[in-house]
């Protein structure tokens, strides 16, 4: 295992916020490792300045599966997700150590260029954030900057397929040149998904994509995730356990920066093996 | 349970008792706000009223009609350009008032029309040489004292009220009035001429052109440099002690008195680089130094106000940092940057002190045509005219202030318009 940024020794003392005693409690239970993973993370630590946010997380994201990351607020699930396409690079003072590989390629390698990485690993954010431009421009921007389309008609094709895949085409095909910010919240989020799809990523990261949406819009996004699963690996962070149960095949439970338990979604929600997981999914805290 | 309800009722009573006081405080606060706005509007109205009241008459000028005989003899042994036009004007005056004699009286008579009257005649003859030999009815500008008298600025009590006009001159003017040979016309000279020692010949155009060239230099230099500096500091520079130091220094520069920039310009641009004195080029360079901090600070504020979600969105689909900045952040920050720039420009337009240092305070008659021509600017022109003793310069000073204010209003309106136009909502 080659660490790219400085490896800090795992803390000898228990986590300061912990009321639960020894570090033993925080060792990952379950099948964190899958055969032939898309993304492979080993011993990932993340620091914000002096503060450690993620402790020694090892987790695989399989090919064409939806993995849900759940856990109470501040447990580090979003931080971990943002490591997977190096969005954390933009945060001042953020340091990642450990090993994250995409198709066997270390993404924190010095030779790794973040621009193609982010085209390969797309991300959808919590709050819909379309560019203040037209719907068409929103979707076409990615393919344009990456030079994915050589002709105008090719670009039009990409825009149309992306919007279709995001289930938005029928709703917006007559007003492609109106501002994307004029859509409803749910439509905006699907527009952001279309924008991500347009650059043909292999992995899509979703950071609580439905937390700002109403139940109907949420249901649409969940259906969409289910369809996208056939073509993309998807990692979704969610606050809603129901959502995790509905859309994912595997579920990872994070607690105070530690990965506590990973397993098949059904198993996590029916027979959790760790006491913390059980407490969380039965609603005892979180 | 009962006790709880009663304590709730008690709490409500306390709240209700306090309401009147709260509303009173609110009303008091509102009244003070309205008072403050009212006071500032009142002073603004006073300022405008006094400037417009003093200055509106400068847009008119008194003209006197003369019958000038273009004597072919006067053109006999000289070219059209070199003929004695002032002499012809004097001759016309003598013919109109044949009873005036004696050197002193004649000098008083000649002083009724402007010393530049011959120049107008000169222009007309140059344009139409066939006029030689004819008698022309020409309107020539009256002397500034006559102008003041006709406009009524000398009416009143006491010796001062007569102005510098003698009893004799007033008699002639009354005669001209009864003959309908005196008229107030639109003062074109004020908008087409450069500065002059004679108020009736002085115009604002030289100062306007000087201000224009100076501002062009300032804008061309300070906008790109300021925006580039702000972009680098805000988006690309690492946050460390050096950038902190730079930031502190930029904020300090914004507060440095402008005359210091003038001294700097004198030392660097004139003495070291040997650039020409009184030139809009140097004025623009000095005002660039002065405006840059303002633009950088406004641009940085505009950049910080772009929501981080837009940056994340761009980076998230694989835009490089440069693409993120140029395609998304800059267009959103541009309205704020433009507003800051125009406000900086408006400040530069009204700036006097630094330009005094580099010689733009000189008395310059010609309208500048190039960046290196000696020139003056509007505020300096106002300063120069306000300093002149002639009564007619009082109204010209106010008129120049009106022109300056008009430019400022146009620029600030442009700032509002640009902000509205480029502003995007998200």
Q: Give the DSSP H/E element, type plus range, for residue A41.
A: strand A37-48
DSSP-assigned beta bridge partners for residue A41: A59, A100
Binning pLDDT at 50, 70 and 90, where does residue B392 land?
confident
- Chain A hits for B317, Cβ within 8 Å: 118-119, 122, 141-142, 195-196, 198-199
A146 close to B (CB below 8 A): yes
What integer best gives the mean pLDDT of chain B?
88
Q: Where in chain B is the domain with CATH 1.10.3720.10?
A: 205-422
Query: How many H-runs (helices) and E-runs (strands) does chain B carry?
Result: 17, 3
Distance from CA of B232 to the nearest CA of A (A): 16
A145 close to B (CB below 8 A): yes
Binning pLDDT at 50, 70 and 90, where does residue A216 land?
confident
pLDDT at position A4 is 43
What mean pLDDT do residues B25-53 have?
A: 95
pLDDT tens-digit map of A84-109: 989 888 888 888 998 999 988 898 88
- Chain B hits for A131, Cβ within 8 Å: 310, 313-314, 328
State which residue of chain B sits closest to A143, comparing Cα positions.
Answer: B317
The answer to whether the Cβ–Cβ distance between B315 and A118 falls below 8 Å is: yes
- What are the tokens at A194? 């279309």
Q: What is the ipTM for the molecules in this complex?
A: 0.83
CA distance B390 to B384: 12
* Domain range list for chain A: 23-127+203-281
What mean pLDDT do residues A139-165 have?
A: 90
Question: Does position A12 have pLDDT exceeding 50, yes or no?
Answer: no
The answer to whether the Cβ–Cβ distance between B318 and A90 falls below 8 Å is: no
pLDDT at position A11 is 46
Q: In CATH, which superfamily holds the domain spanning B205-422?
A: MetI-like (1.10.3720.10)
Question: Does position B48 have pLDDT exceeding 50, yes or no?
Answer: yes
State which residue of chain A sits closest to B309, comparing Cα positions.
Answer: A129
Question: Does position A7 have pLDDT exceeding 70, yes or no?
Answer: no
What mean pLDDT do residues A186-213 have?
A: 90
Which of B309, B320, B332 has the CB atom closest to A125's CB atom? B309
Considering Cα of A49, then A51, then A55, then A56, what sign does the dihedral take? positive
> What are the distances in angstroms from CA A122 to CA A118, A125, A174, B295, B324?
6, 10, 27, 37, 16
pLDDT at position B163 is 61
Question: Does position A239 have pLDDT exceeding 50, yes or no?
Answer: yes
CA distance B69 to B81: 17
Better-scored residue on pLDDT, A14 or B147: B147
Question: Does position B165 have pLDDT exceeding 50, yes or no?
Answer: yes
Pairing of strands A66-70, A51-62: unpaired
Binning pLDDT at 50, 70 and 90, where does residue B425 land?
low
**Is the pTM here over 0.90, yes or no?**
no
What mean pLDDT do residues B93-113 have?
A: 86
User: Which among B236, B312, B313, B323 is the top mutation candidate for probing chain A, defined by the most A β-carbons within 10 Å of its own β-carbon?
Assistant: B313
Binning pLDDT at 50, 70 and 90, where does residue B226 land?
very high
pLDDT tens-digit map of B65-88: 888 888 877 777 777 777 888 888
For residues A277 and A270, is the Cβ–Cβ distance under 8 A? Answer: no
Question: Does position A236 have pLDDT exceeding 90, yes or no?
Answer: yes
The CATH architecture that domain A23-127+203-281 belongs to is 3-Layer(aba) Sandwich (3.40)
> What are the distances in angstroms from CA A286 to CA A76, A280, B87?
13, 6, 103
State which residue of chain A sits closest to B239, comparing Cα positions.
Answer: A92
pLDDT at position A1 is 38
Residues across chain A: 286
Question: Does position B290 have pLDDT exceeding 90, yes or no?
Answer: yes
pLDDT at position B5 is 66
The answer to whether the Cβ–Cβ distance between A125 and B316 falls below 8 Å is: yes
Which of A118, A127, A132 has the CB atom closest to B317's CB atom? A118
For residues A138 and A131, is the Cβ–Cβ distance under 8 A? Answer: yes
pLDDT tens-digit map of B292-305: 999 999 999 999 99
């Amino acid at each position: 295992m080659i660490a790219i940024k400085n490896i800090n020794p795992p803390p000898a003392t228990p986590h300061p916020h912990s009321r639960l005693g020894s570090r033993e409690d925080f060792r990952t239970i379950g099948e964190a490792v899958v055969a032939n993973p898309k993304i492979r993370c080993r011993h990932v630590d993340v620091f914000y300045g002096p503060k450690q946010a993620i402790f020694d997380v090892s987790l695989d994201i399989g090919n064409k599966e939806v993995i849900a990351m759940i856990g109470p607020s501040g447990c580090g699930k979003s931080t971990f997700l943002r490591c997977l396409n190096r969005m954390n690079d933009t945060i001042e003072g953020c340091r990642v150590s450990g090993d994250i590989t995409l198709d066997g390629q270390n993404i924190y390698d010095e030779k790794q260029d973040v621009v193609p990485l982010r085209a390969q690993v797309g991300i959808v954010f919590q709050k819909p954030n379309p560019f203040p431009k037209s719907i068409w421009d929103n979707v076409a921007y990615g393919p344009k900057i990456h030079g994915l389309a050589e002709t105008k008609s090719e670009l039009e094709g990409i825009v149309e397929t992306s919007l279709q895949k995001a289930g938005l085409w029928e709703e917006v095909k007559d007003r492609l040149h109106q501002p994307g910010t004029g859509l409803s919240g749910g439509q905006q989020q699907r527009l952001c998904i279309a924008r991500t799809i347009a650059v043909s990523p292999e992995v899509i990261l979703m950071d609580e994509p439905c937390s700002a949406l109403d139940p109907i819009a949420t249901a649409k996004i969940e259906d969409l995730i289910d369809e996208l699963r056939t073509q993309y690996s998807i990692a979704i962070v969610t606050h809603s356990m129901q959502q995790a149960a509905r859309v994912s095949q595997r579920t990872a439970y994070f607690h105070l920066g530690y990965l506590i338990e990973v397993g098949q979604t059904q198993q996590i929600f029916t027979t959790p093996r760790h006491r913390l997981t059980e407490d969380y999914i039965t609603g005892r805290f979180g | 349970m009962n006790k709880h309800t009663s304590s709730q009722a008690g709490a409500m009573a306390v709240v209700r008792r306090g309401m009147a006081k709260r509303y009173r405080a609110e009303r008091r606060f509102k009244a003070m706000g309205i008072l403050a706005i009212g006071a500032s509007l009142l002073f603004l109205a006073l300022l405008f009223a006094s400037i417009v009241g003093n200055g509106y008459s400068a847009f008119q000028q008194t003209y006197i009609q003369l019958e000038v005989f273009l004597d072919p003899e006067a053109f006999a042994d000289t070219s059209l350009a070199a003929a004695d036009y002032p002499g012809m004007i004097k001759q016309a005056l003598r013919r109109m008032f044949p009873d005036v004699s004696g050197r002193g009286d004649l000098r008083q008579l000649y002083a009724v029309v402007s010393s530049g009257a011959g120049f107008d005649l000169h222009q007309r003859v140059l344009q139409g040489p066939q006029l030689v030999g004819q008698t022309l009815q020409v309107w020539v500008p009256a002397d500034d004292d006559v102008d003041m008298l006709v406009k009524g600025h000398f009416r009143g009590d006491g010796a001062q009220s007569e102005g510098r006009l003698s009893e004799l001159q007033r008699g002639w003017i009354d005669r001209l009035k009864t003959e309908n040979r005196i008229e107030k016309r639109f003062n074109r000279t004020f908008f087409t001429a450069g500065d002059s020692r004679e108020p009736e010949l002085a115009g604002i155009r030289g100062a306007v052109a000087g201000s224009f060239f100076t501002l062009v230099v300032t804008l061309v230099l300070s906008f790109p440099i300021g925006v580039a500096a702000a972009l680098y500091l805000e988006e690309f520079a690492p946050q460390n002690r050096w950038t902190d130091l730079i930031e502190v220094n930029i904020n300090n520069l914004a507060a440095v008195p402008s005359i210091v920039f003038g001294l700097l310009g004198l030392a660097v641009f004139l003495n070291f680089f040997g650039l020409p004195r009184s030139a809009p080029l140097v004025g623009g360079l000095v005002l660039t130094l002065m405006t840059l901090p303002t633009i950088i600070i406004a641009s940085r504020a505009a950049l910080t106000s772009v929501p981080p979600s837009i940056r994340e969105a761009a980076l998230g689909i694989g835009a490089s940092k440069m693409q993120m900045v140029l395609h998304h952040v800059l267009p959103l920050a541009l309205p704020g940057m433009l507003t800051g720039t125009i406000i900086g420009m408006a400040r530069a337009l009204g700036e006097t002190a630094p330009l005094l240092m580099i010689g733009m305070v000189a008395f310059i008659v010609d309208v500048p045509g190039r960046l290196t021509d000696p020139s003056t600017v509007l505020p300096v022109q106002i300063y120069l005219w306000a300093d002149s003793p002639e009564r007619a310069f009082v109204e010209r000073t106010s008129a120049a202030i009106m022109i300056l204010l008009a430019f400022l209003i146009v620029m600030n309106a442009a700032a509002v318009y640009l902000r509205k136009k480029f502003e995007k909502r998200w």
